[in-house]
Structure 1
């Protein structure tokens, strides 16, 4: 280790022994909370692998002027954790569609489809439209129990992960322009069908899937629909017909000016497509994931019966697919801030908070860089070819670079690695980096959080959420003798 990065107290064995005893005492003092969870918030970091967590933790510490490795993400302080297995019924490595269905409905399914069992096949309207293949989700279970439900994401609200909670479709059927007849597209299912039309909060991007392709939205972007429907107007009309107070907002100002105590339904669409990466976002226009989380809880907690909220940090995945870890780690820190916002707004005695991921990615965190070395830099050790390698790299993806004329790898010291657009090295050339098949972490705090331990099938997660909150068709904590 390099003493330049190692505080003096860390070299004292007594420091580590005392820290170990303090951790032991904390665990001995922790007592499971075995009472009904009035509220549940499920956070999902799309593509948030364990390597991503470790690297983001280091980045968080380094941004604070520390060596970095000793830092903690907000949810890493939760008292219980475990691992989830992420495979699909038909695939070793999951996509977001099958994983979201598992996380929200408790049923594993095939790649490429949401809200259906494995009896349905991707891009097959007859099987996807067959209601015998449709599965219900914890959003629906919560509503059936007389409580409120909502979702927030920084991807399109019709994207695979949020759609896993309310739609029955091929993941590509986001608007009617993408959907074969007579099947209904995902945006229409969100606005017109259950459980979507009863969601109290819907926030994210994707305005284009709600308006006709000949119509421009509030920022001048064209819609994507072929039909003449304005689904935003239909959402507003539905809420007016119920004599409910509702608000549609399309920018950060509209969200922050919202009277949350007097808003029953909220539709927030903050971009035509996906919302922007935090590093490039215009905060005059787009709220942060933490701000969306705060607003969602602010509205949902008006329900005296309780609520379920699903929050996705979806841009982690997009950044990894382009082999740009600077963005991926920053997006992980956005989720960290959103979770912290929820911690501050809820009570551990009645609110279950769970944080997990849908699948992994191929980014690795390796080498023998000295303690505190820039997590987004060169590992500091030369390979057998005499050239350096980065601490973070990918098994595959667009970061692959052909050998130079002398058949040697490109020298990273010649690159400007400091920009958000920089693609980190990849071993196999692919236009888009793939997901990984390794297990993902699960963190839990609140009532029945101790159930989220060990190695779980991903599809077990909603069963545990439902048990804790006394919703759904299965066993619940309220039914215990």
Structure 2
């Protein structure tokens, strides 16, 4: 058979025309796993964009590979001191989520999608992080936060404490010798500014890993401590630790959701919603009182307009709580009052950039995880694209020579990309083939979750709805995390140390080494 690489341009054009009609007619190739034979299956398909005609020629791929090789050979390793460190955490950002999100983004731009690159995928250095926790093969966002922020692996459900502390062990968490400080605290001790930005409640497990020490991730308010039959007067809740304790009270920029965790159940917030606290304390007022006593400039914000108008040059501390609970999914938000993750990231960097000693910033795209738990893959992919925009904003605002940016995930999810869909097939729709039961299946599906049903005809489903729940194989009340390794992308000083496969708790040790903070070895030791 003559290789397409030897065809004339007219031959390629005819081939693409035939292929286009083939796709329109729904005749798609599939493979019989038992016989290893490829056959044709028929089912209705929408017209999809065609790939670049140059891909038919081997020269296209050889040239691209040689260009990548040239870029890598020319890249200089950065071994100076990192003035600034930014850690981006895509909660639940599994490797299949990355692949599906780049297709989703590319297809939204009119391309086939598979060739698209998310902003951080262009970073020069990549590794794999092992996410298991001390007592669990599959991590949650609590024990993993202790690892990638504190440098120590812990038990599932606990935050900022070593594995000696079991779930609900209030006495153990109060023992200072069991507490694990984070790179945010190490950075404060070195005179750097610090910030926490998230699309979840600011007291949720991932951001809490930066500043709290708790034996139960659910202890976001005193009410939850009491629900666990513990004494909230003894076991400080996460919101209380953020406002009253170190390092929380010293964080310069806190942006996200979760107003209800700071206000009494007998009070209403700016949008008329009740709080969750049972101690009659208004922690937002407490935060403001602390800043007044310290004689520093501060702003409490609760909507997007206020964030846009804040004077970043004259404001030292910002507390922005833009929703009673988690921030809404970007694609579903019609309020006009919620800032994007990109907008919050830009403000945080500009506020902290005034410090000549530099800063540490933690940024979480937290709702990727929530969408996966609900098997709403469309929302998960869209939140990933929003996350990538925030990373790009940080890259635009910083200098690679003095700022280390690390992008990773805390754990995986059970979503997979399966079948043999044609190139450019809508990532959110059917795979293009049917099972042995003659029923079509989706390209994206979950190993478990609340969307489980016996096999049925998916072609009758409205898969364009962002709230559509993708099929799950095992019925559960909520889809679970996955135990896969997750990717780590990095650029800036010493980013090349994130190579190979390593334990998740290695991540902050590199950041500390590069920025000369903490008690471990640093680049400054040899100077």
Asked if 1:50 is matched to 2:95, the reply is yes
Alignment of 1:164-179 (within 5 A): 164-169=209-214, 170-179=216-225
Aligned to 1:40: 85
Q: Which digits, 9 at most, give the CA deviation of each residue in 1:23-47, with x for residues without a partner?
A: 1001101111000000000000000
Whether contact under 8 Å (1:252, 1:283) holds in the other structure is no
Asked if 1:281 is matched to 2:333, the reply is yes
TM-score by length of 2: 0.89
Distance 2:372 2:526 in 1: 44
Q: 3-state DSSP class of the match of 2:164?
A: coil
Whether contact under 8 Å (2:266, 2:280) holds in the other structure is no
Whether contact under 8 Å (2:449, 2:476) holds in the other structure is yes
Alignment of 1:176-191 (within 5 A): 176-179=222-225, 180-181=230-231, 182-191=234-243
TM-score by length of 1: 0.98
Aligned to 1:215: 267
Distance 2:428 2:78 in 1: 40
128, 143, 146: which one aligns with 2:188: 143
Asked if 1:455 is matched to 2:501, the reply is yes
224, 235, 249: which one aligns with 1:197: 249
Deviation at 1:414, TM superposition (A): 1.0
Asked if 1:478 is matched to 2:517, the reply is no
Q: Rg: which structure is higher?
A: 2
Asked if 1:99 is matched to 2:151, the reply is no
Q: Which digits, 9 at most, give the CA deviation of each residue in 1:157-200, with x for residues without a partner?
A: 00000001111111010001111211000000000000000000
Deviation at 1:22, TM superposition (A): 0.4
Q: Which digits, 9 at most, give the CA deviation of each residue in 1:214-257, with x for residues without a partner?
A: 00000000010011211101101111111111000000000000
Q: 3-state DSSP class of the match of 1:114?
A: coil
Distance 2:491 2:457 in 1: 45
Q: 3-state DSSP class of the match of 1:441?
A: strand
Alignment of 1:57-456 (within 5 A): 57-169=102-214, 170-179=216-225, 180-181=230-231, 182-282=234-334, 284-401=336-453, 403=454, 409-456=455-502
In structure 2, the gaps of 5 or more residues are 1-14, 21-49
Indicate the larger mover: 273-282 or 188-197: 273-282
Deviation at 1:282, TM superposition (A): 3.2
Distance 2:336 2:450 in 1: 32
In structure 1, the gaps of 5 or more residues are 404-408
Q: Which runs of 4+ in 1 moved over 3 A?
A: 1-4
Aligned to 1:406: none
Whether contact under 8 Å (1:48, 1:316) holds in the other structure is yes
